[in-house]
Every structure is written in C-alpha cells, then in structure tokens.
Amino acid sequence: MTVTQIPTAQFPVVHTSGDPVGARRRLYLTVVAAYMASMSFGITCTYSSPALPDIRKNIHFTENDTGWFGSLVTLGAVFGGLLGGQLLNWLGRRGTLLFSAVWFTAGYLFIIFGPTTILLFVGRFVTGVGMGMVALAVPVFISEICPANVRGLLNTGGNMVLTVGILITFVLGKWLDYKWLAICSLAPSIVMAATLPWSKESPRWLLQKGHSYS
C-alpha cells in the first residue's frame, strides 16, 4: 500500500500495490478489530441495566448507589473522550484503540473481583474511559484506512455492531449473574487487543508523523 496524496482537509488517497489479496485481508482484519471496539462500547454502555438486579442481591446497594453505578460510565466517557483526542495524535488510531482495551479490561476486572461498592464504581468509571476513547477513534480509524468506495458502508457497520453489543448484553444478562456477564463483556476487547498488532495503522497519521507507509 502506498499513499500518494494527503490533502490538508481530506482523507489520503490510498492505492494498492504488491499483493492486493493480502492488502484486502489486512484491511478487513483492521476493520474487525475496530468493530470489536464498537461492540465493547455497546456492551459497556448497557451493562448496568441487566447487572444491577443481581448486584443488589449480593452487595448492599442503595437507590443512590444504583444511580451512580449506572451514570459513572458516562463521566468516565467524558474523561476518555478528552484523553482520546490527545492519544489519537500521540499513539495513533491503532494505538488509541489498543490503549482503550487496557481500560475496558481493567474496569471489568474491578467489577469481577471488587467485593465493595467503591470498587464497582471504579470499575464502571474505568470502562467508561474506554468508551470515550472508542467513540473518537473508531470512526476516524475506519475512515482513514478504507478506500472511498467502501468507507461509508464500513463506518455504518460499526454502528450496527454497537447495537449488536447492546442486544448481546441484554440477552446474556437474562441468564448470567453480574460477574459472569462482566467476564463475557471482556471478550470483544480481548479480541480487539489480539488483532490490532496485526492490523495496519492509519496512513494519514503515519504521514503526519513523518513515517513511510507500505
């Protein structure tokens, strides 16, 4: 892959060379990784609704605690969005998504192993930070790595995967306790972290940082 042009206010024009089949496979692997980030967003956004009934059976949760558990994720997302805006330039689009997987994993581990209300709150906030990073990184990443003829389609697919994550959470929450639901919620971020090292970085970011793209 070579980038021949990068206008100031436009996406780079990307041409394929060498092995077009291999390049296409790598493209779709990168899109799958980004989709796993979107699924993590949807799962995390919805996690509190099916989890709270079981949490209240096992841990003393007041009505005020219930409200905080549901809303702290949005506060974390605000922080994650502010941080993610800087990370997109510092670490790149791929690096930002990989870093978001660390926050998702850490947050769910707090929820799984945290025996107190405070640790559950921390876990919820930390997963929200991952959400904020993903909300910024995914559309930018997909837009910059995809050819123009499929860019809109693949970006729309990210939104569809997000809603699938919401659906999965409600379905699994009907049968699983809150800890097992958190364990299952880790799966997309683990897949994302496993596939991102084999994915390609945004050609626009590479050129902005003075790197070659191949």
pLDDT value at 13 more than 80: no
CATH of 45-208, one of 3.40.718.10, 3.40.50.720, 3.40.50.300, 1.20.1250.20: 1.20.1250.20
Check residue 208 and give its pLDDT.
Answer: 83
Name the residue type at position 57.
Answer: K
pLDDT score recorded for residue 98: 95
* Confidence (pLDDT) at 18: 52
Residue 38 pLDDT grade (very low, low, confident, very high; cuts 50, 70, 90): very high
**Short-list 133, 145, 113, CA closest to 11:** 145
For residue 6, pLDDT beyond 70: no
The single-letter DSSP state of residue 11 is P
Asked whether the CA dihedral 162, 153, 144, 34 is positive or negative, the reply is positive
pLDDT band at 210 (very low <50, low <70, confident <90, very high): confident
What span, in angstroms and rounded, lies between the C-alpha atoms of 122 and 73? Answer: 9
Is residue 212 over pLDDT 70?
no
pLDDT in tens, 140-167: 999 988 888 888 888 888 899 999 999 9
Mean pLDDT of 173-181: 95
User: CB burial class (10 A; 0-12, 13-18, 19+) of residue 149?
Assistant: exposed
Q: What is the value of pTM for the model shown?
A: 0.85
Q: What is the pLDDT of residue 74?
A: 95
**Statement: residue 11 has pLDDT above 50:** no
Domain ranges (residues) in the chain: 45-208
Provide the phi-psi class of 11: left if phi over 0, else alpha when psi is between -120 and 50, else beta.
beta
